[in-house]
Amino acid sequence: MAIPKKKFTLPFFTLLLVNLWSNQMVIMAMESIPIGVVLDLNSTVGEMAESCMSMAVSDFYALNVDFKTRLALFTRDSSSDVVAATSSVLDLMKKQVHAIIGPQKSSQAKFVIELGGKAEVPIVSFSATSPTLSATQSKYFVRTVQDDSSQVKAIASIVQAYGWREIVLIYEDTEYGNGLVPLLLEAFQEIDTRVPYGSRIPLYFNDTQIMRELSKLKAMQKSIFLVHMSASLGSRLFLLAKDAGMMSEGYAWLVTAGLSTLLDPLGSEVMDSMRGVLGIKPHVPTSKKLESFKSRWRKNFTISKPQSKINELNLFGLWAYDTVWAIAMAVEKAGIVHSRYVKPNTSEGTVDIAALGKSETGPRLLSSILSTRFQGLSGDFHLAGGERVPSAFEILNLIGKAERVIGYWTPERGLSRNLYTNGKIASSTSKNRLKEPIWPGDTTQQPKRLRIGVPLKTGFNEFIEVEWNPEDDKPIVSGFTRDVFVSVVEALPFPLPYEFIPFVNKNKQSAGTYNDLLDQIKLKNFDAAVGDITIIANRSTYVDFTLPFSESGITMVVLTKRDERENMWIFLKPLSLELWLTTGIAFILTGLVVWVLEHRENKVFRGKPAQQLGTTLWFSFSTLFFAHREKVVNNWTRFVLIIWIFVVLIISQSYTASLASILTVKRLQPTFVDVKEIRKNGYFVGHQKDSFVKDFLVKQLNFNDTMLREYSTPEEYHDALSRGTHNGGVAAIFAEIPYIKLFLAKYCSKFQMVGPTYKTDGFGFAFPLGSPLVPYISRAILNVTQDKDKMDEIERRNFGGETTCSDQAAMVPSGGLGLPSFGGLFIITGVASMSALLIYVTKFLYIHWPASNTMDQERSFYLRVLELAKHFDKEDPSAHHLNGAGSRVHAVPSVEIVGASPDIDDARSHSRTSSEGSGDIIGDQDHDNHTPRNSAANPEPPHTP
C-alpha cells in the first residue's frame, strides 16, 4: 500500500509547484508603476491613510488579477513640516514616480503643487481641503476630496435655520483655517448674520493663551460659535472651553467638516467635552462592501499597530483608499508600462528643481485620472474641474461618545430629516426639517435665548404686568406689549428663542426707571427690552428702537365741569352774548325803520308817543313768533319786512336746533383747556411715575419742578384730578395717549382729554446699538399692526370690552352760536332797512322842505326842522289808501252854509279830509267785520296840527 501512496503524492506536489510558478510568472509579467506617497505618519490621518492605501493595492489587484500594471507605493514621512514635505516630493520625483499622493496638509500642498506643474507629475490629494488650493493654480493638482467651500452653504443653512443673527468664528491660523473664512463671511452676509468677531488661534498657542482668548469671548457675552480647526487644535479648544464654563446651557457650537470627520480618534474625554455640539461632514452611503472593509481594516490595524489609539475608520481613510483605486484604474487605462523623466544632464547628487525635467507619462496619466469614475467606499468617485464633485452632508449632534444624525443637506433640497424620500421636495432652511438636537448643558432649549428685560409697573398693568408663579417662583409676564412682541416673533422668518427677565432687585421690587432699564442693554445685562417704552431722541443714542407699534403723542387730561342741563339759564346758551345783543339791536332798529316808513300813512303807527313806541316794539318782536295783525301800507316797509322775516326765520331755527342739542346731548366742558393758563396760575400738574414725561414738562413746557406730582395708577389719577387745584390735587395730568385712553375708558364721564398733542414716536422694542434683529423685528411689527383682526384680538384680550370716550372734540362745548355765523344776514337786513329809510326820508325832505321865501329865511334852522317834524307827524293826504277809502264808506250829505267864510270852508275841508282818513281805517275794520258803517255817524272834530 505504500507504493501507491507515493504514486499519488508525487503528482500533487508537482501540480502545486507548477501553480506557484505560474502565479509568480504572472506577477513578474505585470509592469510596476512607482507612485509616491507623502504623509505625516505620526498623525491620525497619516497613520490611517497608510494602512488603507496598503489594503487598497491588495484589494484592487486581487480583484483585477489580469491587469498588466501594478502600483508600487513609495511612502515618505513629511513630519508635519512644509520643508520636509517639499523635500520628500523632490526625492520621489528623482525616483521618477508617475504620480504623488499627498501631501497631507493644505500648507504643505501649496508649494508642492508648483513642483507638480513644473515636472508635469499629477499631485493627487485626498486631505488638502483648503479653498485656496485649486486646479486653476496648476492643472496637475487633483483633489479626490470635497473642497471646504462645498460645506459653506450647508453651514449657512444651519445658522439660518436656528435664527442666529450673530456668530463668532474660531479658526486656526493656518492655510487650512484662513482659506475658508472669506467664504463664510460672504455666506453669512447673504443671510444677514453678523460676525462681530473672529478669533484666530495659531498652532503654537499653549493652553494658557487659548484660555485667555476664550475668556475674552465670554466677557463679550458671545454664545454662538463656529469652529474651523484641525483635530489636534480643536480637541484642546473644547477641553478648555468646558473648563471655562462655555459648554453649558445657553451656548451653541458648530464645527466644520475637518473636525467632524475626525471625531472617533479624539478620545472619550474630548468627546465628553463636546457634548451638544453640532457638526457637519460629507455623507457616505452605507453598503456591504463598506461594512466588510471596516471589519477587515479594524482587524488588520489592531494586529499591525496594537499601541494605536485609533479605534474607528474615518472618511480620510476611505478617501485614501478610493484615491489608490482611482490611480490604479487610470494607470491601467492609460497603458503606462514604463517610467521616465526627460531632464537635462545633471550630477546625481544635485537637488535642483529646474533639473527635475518633465514626466513623459504625466499628461496622459492626468487625463486618465480625471476621466475615471467608479463606485468607491466613500461613494460615487466623480471628478469635475480637477476636484471631487460635492455630495450630501450629514448634520451631526454629538452626545457623549455617540454621533447622532439629525438631518441632511443637499444643494437641491436644502435641509431635510431624511436623505432619501419619494417625490420632489422644495428647498428649505427651516429647523423643522431637522430632528430636535441636544444642546450643551443637556437641554433641548435652543441656545442664544434673548434675555429680554421687562419693567415692573404698579399701575396700568394692562400694558405690561409681572407676576410670580407660587409653585416655582418663576416670573409670569403678560400684557398688551408682551402679546404684541410674541406675535411679532411668530411673524419672523426664523426662530427667535427668548426669555423674559423682570427688571427687579433682590426684593422683587422695581430696580429703577425705564432709562435705567435701557442702560442694562448698554451694559449687556439684557439683550432687549419689552414694555411700554417710548421712543425718544436721547434714548436712541445708546439703544436701537424698532418701529413703533402704538399711538404716539403726549397730551393732558382734566376734570370736566358739571352738566349744563342742570343750569336754570340754559335757554340762553344757544346764542352767544354778542349774538343776543346784536339780535336785540336789530329788532329795535327794524322796528324804528318800520315806524318811520308807516307813521304818516298808517293809523296803527299813530297816536300818543308811548302807544307808538309800544306798537313799534311789539310789531318788530312779534315777527319772531307769529305773523303780525298790523297791516303795513308802504311798499318800502314790505321790502324791509321780507328781508327781516327771512333773517328771523334762520335765527329762530338755529336757536331751536342748538337748544335741542344742549338738552339732549350730554356735553363735557373741561375745567382747563390752555397749558399757559395752568402754568401762569401756578397750578400743580401730574405725570406718570418713572416716566420721561417729567423731563418733558420741565424742559419743553417750562413747568417748575416743584409743581409736578407723580402718580402710578388710574385710581391715583382719578383722585388727584377730582380733588382739584385747591384741595391737594392737580389741574391736569400729562401722559401719553395710550395711558390717557385707558384711563378715560374707566372714567369717561368725569374727565376729558384736551389741549394740544405733543409729538412722540410711540412704544417700541429696544435692542443694542447695531443689533441685526432690529430690521427683522420692525418688518414683523408692520405685518402684525396691519393685521386688524390680530390687533383687535390682542387689545380685546388685554383691555377687555372697555372702549375709550367718543371723539373728544365733539364733546367740547362751542359756547353757543356766535355772531360771525349770522353776520351776513344782519348785513343784508341792515342794508335793506337803511336803503328803504334813506329813500323815504330823501323823498319826504324833497317834497316838504320849507320854501326859501323871505319869511323862511328869517327863521332859524332849528325852527325849520321843528316845523318839518310837525309836518311829518301829520297824515299824508295824498296816500293812495286814503283816497281809495272813500269808495268803501258811506257818503255824508253835505249841507251848504250860505255866506260861509273862507275859514269855515277851510275847516270844513279839513274836517272832511280827516273824516275820510279816519273812515278808511274804520271802514277797513268794518269791512273785515262785515258791518258797513257810515263815517258821518261819528263825526271827528277838526284836527289842528
Q: Is the peptide bond before 103 cis (omega within 30 degrees of 0)?
A: yes
Cell of 593: 325803520
Q: Which strand (E) or helix (H) includes residue 915?
A: helix 902-928
Q: Is 467 helix (H, G, I), strand (E, B) or coil?
A: strand
For the chain, the 3-state helix, strand and coil shares in percent, each to the nearest 5, are 45, 15, 35
Residue 650 CA: distances (Å) to CA of 590, 656, 802: 16, 10, 42
Instruction: Output the CATH code of domain 148-285+392-433.
Output: 3.40.50.2300
Q: Which residues of 772-808 are buried (b: 16+ CB within 10 A; e: fewer)?
A: ebbebbbebbeebbeeeebbeebeeebbeeeebbeeb
Residue 757 grid cell: 398733542
Buried (b) or exposed (e) across 114-144, using 16+ Cβ within 10 A? bbbbebbbbbbbbbbbbbbbbbeebebbbbb
Q: What are phi and psi of 566, to 5 degrees?
A: -85, 0
What pLDDT, on the 0 to 100 scale, is given for residue 821? 53
Decide if 366 contacts 140 (C-beta within 8 A).
Answer: yes
Q: How far apart are CA 386 and CA 124, in angstroms?
A: 10
Q: Which residues of the chain have pLDDT under 50?
A: 1-10, 12-13, 18, 20-28, 349-350, 803-804, 806-815, 852-854, 881-945
Q: Which of 344, 853, 457 is nearest to 690 (CA)?
A: 457
User: Dihedral (C-alpha) 848, 850, 852, 858: value to the nearest 10 degrees?
Assistant: -170
List residues bridging with 73 in a β-sheet: 35
Task: Tell which CATH architecture fits domain 450-549.
Answer: 3-Layer(aba) Sandwich (3.40)
- Of residues 754, 758, 759, the one with CA closest to residue 809: 754
The full DSSP string for 712-764 is: -SHHHHHHHHHH-TTTT--SEEEEEHHHHHHHHHHSTTTEEEEEEEE----B-
Question: Which H or E run contains 925?
Answer: helix 902-928
> Sign of torsion, CA 728 734 738 744?
positive
For 873, which DSSP code?
H
Residue range(s) occupied by CATH 3.40.190.10 in the chain: 450-549, 555-561+669-759
Q: Which fold would CATH assign to domain 555-561+669-759?
A: D-Maltodextrin-Binding Protein; domain 2 (3.40.190)
Instruction: Please give the class, per CATH, of domain 31-144+287-343+353-387.
Output: alpha beta
- In the numeric block, which cell numbers belong to residue 602? 298808517
Round to whole Å and give the CA distance between 207 and 355: 45
Domain 565-664 matching CATH 1.10.10: the answer reads no
Work out the angle between the directed axes of helices 175-190 and 106-119 (0-180°, nearest 10): 100
User: Please, where are the H alpha helices in 454-575?
Assistant: 480-490, 514-522
CA distances from 192 to 159, 162, 169, 461 (A): 10, 13, 15, 36
Give 408-452 as a DSSP string. Answer: EEETTTEEES-SS-SS----B--GGGSPPPPBTTTB-S-S--EEE
The three cell numbers of residue 8 are 499519488
* Residues in the chain, overall count: 945
398693568: which residue's cell? 461
| Distance, CA of 202 to CA of 172 (rounded, Å) | 6
**Contact assessment for residue 822 and residue 579, using Cβ atoms and an 8 Å cutoff:** yes
Chain Cα centroid distance, residue 4: 103
Q: Look at residue 28 in the predicted model and tell me its pLDDT.
A: 47
Q: Where does the chain hold its CATH 1.10.287 domain(s)?
A: 565-664
In tens, the pLDDT along 492-526 reads 888 888 899 999 998 889 999 999 999 999 998 99
Instruction: List Cβ<8 Å contacts ≥24 apart for 580-587.
Output: 582/819, 582/822, 582/826, 583/651, 586/647, 586/826, 586/829, 586/830, 587/617, 587/620, 587/621, 587/624
CA atoms within 13 A on the CB side of 643: 23
Residue 221 exposed, middle or buried by CB count within 10 Å (0-12, 13-18, 19+): exposed
**Overall pTM surpassing 0.75 (yes/no):** no
3-state secondary structure of 619: helix
* Region at 830 (left for phi over 0; alpha for psi -120 to 50; beta for the rest): alpha
Number of H helices, E strands in the chain: 30, 31
Beta strands in 843-933 (DSSP E): none
Q: Is 201:213 a contact under the CB 8 Å cutoff? A: yes
Q: In this structure, what is the dihedral angle of CA atoms 362, 363, 367, 372, given to the nearest 10 degrees?
A: -10
- Cα separation, 847 vs 815, whole angstroms: 51
Does residue 547 contact residue 535 with C-beta atoms inside 8 Å? Answer: no
User: CATH 3.40.50.2300 in the chain, residues?
Assistant: 31-144+287-343+353-387, 148-285+392-433
Q: Give the cell for residue 587.
A: 329788532
Return d(Cα 19, Cα 422) in angstroms, integer: 53
Report the amino acid identity of residue 647: V
pLDDT in tens, 442-494: 888 888 788 999 999 888 889 999 999 888 888 999 999 999 999 999 998 88
Q: What are the residues facing 342 on neighbouring strands? A: 358
Yes or no: say if 481 and 460 are a contact pair by the CB < 8 Å rule.
Answer: no
Tell me if 919 sits within 8 A of 936, measured CB to CB. no
